[in-house]
Amino acid sequence: FRQRKKTLRSWKKRAKLARKLHGRRAKLFTQKRYKQKIELKKKIRMHNEKTDEHKNNKATPKGAIPAYLMDREGVSRSKILSNTIKQKRKEKAGKWDVPINKMRAVPEAEIFKVLRSGKSKKKAWKRMVTKVCFVPPHFTRKPPKFERFIRPAALRFKKAHVTHPELKTTFHLQILAVKKNPHSPLYSSLGVITKGTILEVNVSELGLVTPGGKIVWGKYAQVTNNPELDGCINAVLLV
């Protein structure tokens, strides 16, 4: 409740600060606010596009129609940009309208366990990943002498339970890649999967088609559970 009040009153602080600042700091502040306003307007426009409906006379059938169809006039959604272009834009910006946008920070000590090596176990440069991870199908481990990060075979997952938010159905889909782990770029490169991670999943069996008529191969999904505790990966498809 307090947090909501603080958010609602934040504009007063901003306005006060804008009146105070002058010179170079004022210029920088104005630039920052200008960028924020552009982002906000873009988001509003995208939401309007999604929900905007208008009558389409072409879709209305000619001649006599049954009574139950009288109220249903042809309606088409005015989507200016195709879904493909929108997806590409989101990828470029590195931003998604995700179901979980706030999550607990995971410390490095929780993800990596220090492994001591060498004859007298004095060397401590090796790390073992203690969370669920994903490795590509043709992945080969490095020789033990050069392997810094060890990903145990028991914690490697290949599939995830992905729920389609519109269809309200869950599918067992193959993971193609770990796109982004919000905690660290290192976790993304290692394929560590924690709550809030963005995965790329194979949706070819769902039969999704692009506006051009091509079958959609991969789509993004966000992990909604703690896989290391549940023993499986649950995710929501980002549509």
- The tens-digit pLDDT sequence of the chain (239 residues) is 788 898 889 989 999 999 999 999 999 999 999 999 998 888 887 776 655 555 555 555 566 666 656 555 555 555 445 566 666 666 565 555 678 888 888 888 999 999 999 999 999 999 999 999 999 998 999 998 899 999 999 999 999 999 998 888 999 999 999 999 999 999 999 999 999 999 999 999 888 887 777 888 899 999 999 999 999 999 999 87
The Cα-based distances of 37 to 11, 31, 92, 99 in angstroms read: 13, 10, 19, 23
Inter-residue contact 218 to 238 (CB < 8 Å): no
CA–CA gap between residue 233 and residue 239 (Å, rounded) = 19
Given a contact cutoff of 8 angstroms between Cβ atoms, the answer to whether 94 and 220 are in contact is no
N- to C-terminal Cα distance for the chain?
Answer: 31
* CA gap 104, 57 in Å, rounded: 51
Beta-ladder partners of 114:
127
- Gyration radius (Cα) of the chain, Å: 25
